[in-house]
Chains A and B, each alone.
Chain A
Amino acid sequence: MNNNETLKALVSKLILDIAPEAEMHNLDPNEDLREELDLDSMDFMNLLDSIAKETGVNVPESDYSLVNSLQSLTDYIDKRL
């Protein structure tokens, strides 16, 4: 498993903590994450908070448009680890 796959597994786990019913195995990694999983702004903030705690990578508000999908989010974290 490469680093990005490990990151995807981690982010998936963190999403499931917030949205236990999310069907992660059905999620297209390039689709809009929040749209697909019905995450509201509070959920998304909680997700970024747990990502910051787990990985140390802080996504500022100005970069929200760069982390729309699971793929782009994990790429974003990967580059900054």
Chain B
Amino acid sequence: MKILTMPSFGADMAKGSIVKWNVKPGDHVSKGDIVASIETMKGLIDMEVYDEGTITKLVAVEGEELEIGRPIAELQLTNEESSNNKPEQIPTDAALPSVETITTQVVNLSGKQDKEDKKTPNISNIPDHSELKPKPQIPKISPAARFRAKELGIDWRQLAQGNGPNGALQLNDINAVYEMHPEPQESPSDLMRQAIASTVSRSKRDIPHYYLQLDMLLDNAVRWLREHNADLPPNKRILINAVIYSAIARALTSFPAFNGFYRDGHYESSDSVHLGNAISLRQGGLMVAAIHDAQHLGLIEMMEKITDQVNRARKGGLRMSEMQEATVTVSNLGDRGSDSIQSIILPPQVAIFGIGRQRTVPWIVDNTVSCASIVSMSLAADHRVSDGHLGARLLNKINKYLQKPETLI
């Protein structure tokens, strides 16, 4: 028996609401199936399961808002269905789920080191087998009071007991709190800003960054794209981003010191390149979505992935695994941004690329000046794991791929 819990999609998420269940008790699910849509401050995220089994019970109801780590459903795993295991007890409000939750690493706007940040609520650490944290007693609350609290933006879970039966919070209690503190609660964008602040502060404090930058010629890539895109409708065209991302992903396969996680004083490289794409949101803030196994994607697939992901990030519908599994990140200010960007590593990752805008500059080849289209690519990397010499070789390798876009298709 496995208890599915409200997942965390980053340090800036304290709670989520189940908007829609895609399964019901008795349904069989396989690894990767989407079981629920969860509303977060970042929009709708599709929650997947990581195991095969049968949903035996839905603990959370649609519309219910729950803190990270709270049980939402029970899953009977296929490999234990034949055994006589008794289902574990669902933890009560006062206890923590002591069962397996998501075991994947929450990257970017999260991380275990968040523990040190006392001011920022530590909402990134999904409790795992070994790490249980005490939780305050959550008061009981009547449905009307819960509704009113939500309407007023009051976090009733933080309140003391109310005047109802067994100390339950009632409508009057919520109204009284509102009259005492009528100012609105922090908005999602405030919370996201706080989370970004916490992550980048921690990164700059803990990670000894070094920075490199290389101007890369794009003439070949631009020419190749022009020919490729000439007769295609807009939704089939490949943007220069896809070429750059592919070149980075391919090159990283030969440079494992830039693709992985540094945790507890130890670096572990990843077997595959899950390229995090930093996507700016229209409402402010940003999120990083992982393009899985990016080193294997051709340009057309890469473009399809990027387009699909950016659209879903902005409209809702990113998958949980996309939010949690990036092993390295690319920060791209786009073609209307600045000439270059030096980025801050998202722990526990150890490297981040910054892509400036494509621009035309005078370029010297064989003592002759001509016009060239270039991009400035920066690499910020963790000096505990790699040295500048290796980083420079990585940038040059990426540059080589960029000069031969036809090899990336």
Contacts and interface: CB of A to CB of B under 8 A. Distances in A.
Interface stretch (B28-36, B233-241, B362-370): B233-241
A52 B233 CA distance: 8
Interface string B6-47: 000000000000000000000000000000000000000000
B282 A35 contact: no
A45 B235 contact: yes
Interface in B311-355: 311, 334-336
B229 A61 contact: yes
Contacts of B241: 41-42
A58 B234 contact: yes
Contacts of A45: 234-235, 237, 239, 307
B109 interface: no
Interface of A: 19-21, 34-35, 38, 40-42, 45-46, 48-49, 52, 58-62
Given A21-B282, A40-B336, A41-B334, A61 B307 contact: no
Contacts of B335: 40-41
A49 B229 CA distance: 13
Contacts of A58: 233-234
Given A21-B282, A41-B239, A42-B239, A59 B234 contact: yes
A48 to B, nearest CB: 4
A10 to B, nearest CB: 16
A19 B282 contact: yes
Contacts of B310: 42
B311 A46 contact: yes
Interface of B: 226, 229-231, 233-235, 237, 239-241, 282-283, 306-307, 310-311, 334-336
Contacts of B237: 45, 61
B282 A60 contact: no
B284 to A, nearest CB: 10
Contact of B230 (A34, A40, A41, A62): A62
13 contacts: A19-B282, A21-B282, A34-B336, A42-B306, A42-B310, A42-B311, A45-B237, A45-B307, A46-B235, A60-B230, A61-B226, A61-B237, A62-B230
Which 5 A-B pairs give the minimum distances between C-beta atoms? A48-B234, A49-B234, A40-B334, A49-B235, A41-B335
Given A41-B239, A42-B310, A35 B336 contact: yes
A49 B334 contact: no
Contacts of B235: 45-46, 49
Nearest to B357: A41
Contacts of B229: 60-61
B228 to A, nearest CB: 10
B334 A61 contact: no
B313 to A, nearest CB: 11
B136 to A, nearest CB: 38
A52 B237 CA distance: 13
B224 to A, nearest CB: 12
B282 A20 contact: yes
A49 B282 contact: no
Given A45-B237, A52-B234, A62-B226, 4 more contacts: A41-B334, A45-B307, A52-B233, A61-B230
A38 B335 CA distance: 11
Contacts of A41: 239-241, 334-335
A19 B307 CA distance: 15
Contacts of A62: 226, 230
A38 B306 CA distance: 19
A62 to B, nearest CB: 7
B309 to A, nearest CB: 10
